[in-house]
Amino acid sequence: MPDPEPDDPSPSRAVDLVSKLSHKGFWTSTKGILGAAAAAAAVLTFLLRFWPSSEAACDANSASLSNPQVHTGTLESFLERTSTASDPTAGYDRDRLDDPVRWASVAVSVVGHKGKFLTVRWSMVHARTDQSGNLPDNRAAVEFKPPGCKTTAFREEVLLPPIPPGRPVYVTFDLVDESNERLPPEEVRTAVIRATSE
């Protein structure tokens, strides 16, 4: 018994099939109607497979990070600013919520890059050595995926750990793509900040 022919969803094969069946009165029977539907499905499968994707590239792709700032307040005020939970302070002791904290923020604006994952990263750097040393380095602040070609803009905020006494620092932000390549501008930084006791 010969092997069955492989399925071929090409439009030319479907058109040939329709033409042959029309000479045999195929379209007047239930079997014929079902066959016609199968032929139409084959053509549709072909078109969906090879039709140009609707995820077309954007005309322009750019990004910017700007206005890096350092904020002070309590842990409660930080959580209320940044959390999307209905009760952002749930699970925290009252004493902890009153602790003074600092956080850094940066304005993010992206044009294009539709459907690509981008990551805002942050680091703390010793101001005297320009090295992170034992401070947080290249931490992901947020990963996001621009939904379209228009501007995606937001402000991202990160909670900072205590700053070592006598070791002034600054916070840097950069933006990387899926390949971990930096997008220009390569880096922005806050003003130098010091331990609260200094």
* 111/162 same-domain check: yes
Q: Which H, E and C letters describe 144-185, residue by residue?
A: ECCCCCCEEEEEEEEECCCCCCCCCEEEEEEEECCCCCECCC
- The predicted model scores a pTM of 0.68
Q: What are phi and psi of 140, to 5 degrees?
A: -75, 120
pLDDT number for residue 52: 42
Range of 24's domain? 11-50
Q: Quickly count: other Cβ atoms within 10 Å of residue 32's Cβ.
A: 15
pLDDT number for residue 191: 96
Residue whose C-alpha is closest to residue 171's, from 119, 141, 126: 126
pLDDT number for residue 149: 93
Q: Say if 3 falls within a structural domain.
A: no
* 169/128 same-domain check: yes
Residue whose C-alpha is closest to residue 112's, from 144, 142, 147, 141: 147
Digit-by-digit pLDDT tens for the chain (198 residues) are 444 444 555 555 545 554 554 555 544 555 555 555 555 565 555 444 444 444 567 888 999 999 999 999 999 999 999 988 889 898 899 989 999 999 999 999 999 999 999 999 999 999 999 999 889 999 999 999 999 999 999 999 999 999 888 899 999 999 999 999 998 878 999 999 998 776
Helical segments of 25-137, H only? 30-50, 75-82, 94-97
pLDDT number for residue 56: 64
**Count of domains in the chain?**
2
* 157/67 same-domain check: yes
Q: Say if 182 falls within a structural domain.
A: yes
Residue whose C-alpha is closest to residue 139's, from 120, 117, 126, 162: 120
* 70/94 same-domain check: yes
* 74/156 same-domain check: yes
Question: How far apart are alpha carbons 36 and 42 in whole angstroms?
Answer: 10
pLDDT number for residue 12: 55
Q: Say if 146 falls within a structural domain.
A: yes
Backbone φ/ψ region at 114: left (φ over 0), alpha (ψ -120 to 50), beta? beta
* 90/170 same-domain check: yes
Question: How far apart are alpha carbons 169 and 166 in whole angstroms?
Answer: 10
pLDDT number for residue 84: 85
* 119/32 same-domain check: no
Question: How far apart are alpha carbons 33 and 145 in whole angstroms?
Answer: 45
pLDDT number for residue 54: 42
Q: Say if 174 falls within a structural domain.
A: yes
> H or E stretch including 141?
strand 139-144
Using DSSP, state whether 123 is helix, strand or coil: strand
